[in-house]
Amino acid sequence: PDRYAVAGNPVAHSQSPNIHAQFAAQTGQHLVYERLLCPLDAFLPTVQAFAAAGAKGCNVTVPFKFEAFASARRRSPRAELAGAVNTLRFDEQGWWGDNTDGLGLVRDIQANAGQPLAGLRVLLLGAGGASAGVLGSLIAARPAELTLANRSADKALALVVSHARWAQEHGVRLQASTLQDLPEDRFDVLVNGTSASLAGAGVPVRGQVLREGGLGVDMMYGPQAQGFLDWVAAQGARPRDGLGMLVEQAAEAFQLWRGMRPDTAPVLAGLRAQLA
Ligand code: ATR
User: Domain segments of the chain: what residues?
Assistant: 2-99+244-275, 102-241
Q: Give the burial class of 143: count Cβ atoms within 10 A of its Cβ; 0-12 exposed, 13-18 middle, 19 or more buried.
A: buried
H/E run at residue 33: strand 31-37
pLDDT score, position 200: 59
Known binding residues for NADP(+) are 126-130, 219, 242
Q: Please give the Cα distance from 86 to 47 (Å, whole number).
A: 13
Other Cβ atoms less than 10 A from the Cβ of 195: the count is: 15
Cis amide linkage into residue 10, ω under 30° from 0: yes
Q: Name which of 243, 125, 140 is nearest 189 in CA terms.
A: 125
Residue count of the chain: 276
What is the predicted pLDDT for the residue at 204?
A: 72
- Taking the CA of residue 152 as reference, the ligand 1 atom at the shortest distance is 19
Looking at domain 102-241, which CATH architecture does it have?
Answer: 3-Layer(aba) Sandwich (3.40)
Q: How far is the CA of 54 from the centre of ligand 1 (A)?
A: 37
For ligand 1, atom 14, the nearest C-alpha belongs to 126
In this predicted structure, what is the pLDDT of residue 181?
Answer: 87
Radius of gyration of the chain (CA): 18
pLDDT at 199: 60
Characterize 86-108 residue by residue with b for buried, 16 or more Cβ atoms within 10 angstroms of its Cβ, and e for exposed.
bbbbbeeeebbbbbbbbbbbbbb
Whether the Cβ atoms of residue 17 and residue 34 lie closer than 8 Å to each other: yes
Q: Which residues are catalytic?
A: 65
Cβ proximity of 149 and 180 under 8 Å: no
> 199 CA to middle of ligand 1, Å?
9
CATH (one of 3.40.50.10860, 3.20.20.70, 2.160.10.10, 2.60.40.10) for 2-99+244-275: 3.40.50.10860
Q: What is the pLDDT of residue 183?
A: 81
pTM over 0.90, yes/no = yes
Please give all residues whose beta carbon lies within 6 A of any atom in ligand 1, as ranges.
126-130, 150-152, 155, 193-196, 199, 201, 204
Pocket probe for ligand 1: among 195, 206, 218, 245, the residue whose CB has the most ligand atoms within 8 Å is 195
Q: Atom 31 in ligand 1: which residue has the minimum CA distance?
A: 196
Q: How far is the CA of 94 from the centre of ligand 1 (A)?
A: 33
Please tell me the predicted confidence (pLDDT) of residue 208.
Answer: 81
Q: What's the pLDDT at 162?
A: 96
Distance 181 CA to ligand 1 centre (A): 17
**102-241 matches 2-99+244-275 in CATH topology:** yes
CB neighbour class for 229 (10 Å; exposed up to 12, middle 13-18, buried from 19) = buried
- What pLDDT tens digit does each residue of the chain (276 aa) get? 999 999 999 999 999 999 999 999 999 999 999 999 999 999 999 999 999 999 999 999 999 999 999 999 999 999 999 999 999 999 999 999 999 999 999 999 999 999 999 999 999 999 999 999 999 999 999 999 999 999 999 999 999 999 999 999 999 999 999 998 888 778 999 999 998 766 656 677 877 899 999 999 999 998 889 989 999 999 899 999 999 999 999 999 999 999 999 999 999 999 999 988
Pairing of strands 210-218, 187-192: parallel
Relative to the CA of 198, which ligand 1 atom is closest?
24
